[in-house]
Amino acid sequence: MSARDEIFANLRRSLGVKGSEAPRRHVVQERLESAPKGLVPQRGQLIGEGLIELFKTQAEAAMASVVEVDGPMAVPEAVAEYLRASNLPARIKMGDDLRLAAMPWGETALEISKGRSDGQDLVAVNHAFAGVAETGTLTMTSGPENPSTLNLLPDYAIVVLSAKDVVGDYETMWARLRDEYGKGQMPRTVNWITGPSRSADIEQTLLLGAHGPRSLHIVLVNG
């Protein structure tokens, strides 16, 4: 008997089932189809300004920094200003995201390279799929538009987030993801990011920048 067959035989013996029982199969199918939400905390059930405020508060509590800008056209300048204020070189890496591409980067002095990171980039800019207010969590989806390596390898991660993509809870975010990718389908990687990388493995002392970015800066785009 193959390992697979024996494991399933054991499981079914222990559960006292054959595996072919229609009611059990129906229960499972139903759950996978309907994906019931469970208990969604009240905390994120806000609209408008309150929702944005909650996202900011929570992201900052997780030690991200957040700056709000009036529209997509203001993003490049906000990024350039952040780099100046942080005493960083005016050099960024980004992917092929069309929303980012439509922004007036040429109006800044930023030197921009494209593609994935090979570990040599100090600063990268990605566009978030969504922001979840209940914990200040960014949702990043992989692809050539926003390569995963740009979330992970640079010392300074800058993430552009549209205010209209801020949702209250994870469940709302998944619903939007299903709308975009299809039921049961996922991009290769969905990355929830809540604040910059950290470790407390040495004497329970919290230190930022363990392997991922030391700093996470969110540019929140209104309008």
Partner 1 sequence: MTVHVTSPKFKDNAHRALQDEQLQKAMGNVRQGFIDRRAAVAAKLPEFEALRDSARDIKNHTLQHLDLYLEQYERRVTAAGGHVHWARTADEARRAILDICKRVGARTVTKGKSMISEEIGLNAALEAANIRPVETDLGEYIIQLRGEIPSHIIAPAVHLNATQVESDFRRVHTHLDPQRDLSQPVQLLTEARGVLRDRFLAADVGITGANFLIAETGTSVIVTNEGNGDLTQTMPKVHIVIASIEKVVPTLEDVSQILRVLARSATGQEMSVYTTFSTGPRRPEDVDGPEEYHVVILDNGRSSMLGTTFQDMLRCIRCGACMNHCPVYHAVGGHAYGWVYPGPMGAVLSPSLIGVDKAGHLPNASTFCGRCESVCPVRIPLPKLMRHWREREFERHLQPATFRSGLGFWAYFAKRPRLYRLATSVAMRGLAWLGRDKGRFKTLPLAGGWTDFRDFPAPQGATFQDQWKSRRAGGAK
Positions in 188-207 near partner 1 (CB under 8 A): 188-205, 207
Dist. CA 219–CA 198, nearest whole Å: 21
Q: Which C-beta is closer to partner 1: that of 45 or that of 80?
A: 45
Q: In terms of CB distance, is 85 or 202 closer to partner 1? A: 202
Contact positions with partner 1 (CB under 8 A) in 53-82? 58, 61-62
47 binds partner 1 per the rule CB under 8 A = no
Q: If 0-12 CB within 10 Å is exposed, 13-18 middle and 19+ buried, where does residue 45 land?
A: middle
Kindly list the strands in the beta sheet with 156-162, ordered across the sheet, starting from the edge strand earlier in the chain. 65-69, 215-221, 156-162, 123-127, 91-94, 111-114
- Residue 75 vs 132, nearer CB to partner 1: 132
Nearer to partner 1, 16 or 48 (CB): 16
Binding status of residue 215 toward partner 1 by CB under 8 A: no
Nearer to partner 1, 84 or 114 (CB): 114
The structure tokens 């529209």 sit at 71
98 part of the interface to partner 1, by CB under 8 A: no
Amino acid at 218: I
Shortest distance (Å) from residue 166 CB to partner 1: 15
Residue 116 C-beta: closest distance to partner 1, Å: 4
- CA-nearest of 192, 175, 153 to 59 is 192
Q: What residue has token string 């552009």?
A: 160
Q: Measure CA of the first residue to CA of the last residue in the chain; give whole Å.
A: 61
Count of residues for the chain?
Answer: 223
- Which tokens sit at 135? 């914990």
Q: How far apart are the C-alpha atoms of 170 and 158, rounded to whole Å?
A: 22
Q: Measured from the CB of residue 107, what is the shortest distance to partner 1 in angstroms? A: 27
DSSP 141: E
Residue from 153, 159, 161, 221 binding partner 1 (CB under 8 A): 153
The neighbour count for residue 19, using CB atoms within 10 Å, is 11
- Give yes or no for residue 101 binding partner 1 (CB under 8 A): no
Q: Is 104 in the site for partner 1 (CB under 8 A)?
A: no
Q: Does 28 bind partner 1 (CB under 8 A)?
A: yes
User: In this complex, which beta carbon is closest to partner 1, that of residue 74 or of residue 150?
Assistant: 150
Q: Does 35 bind partner 1 (CB under 8 A)?
A: yes
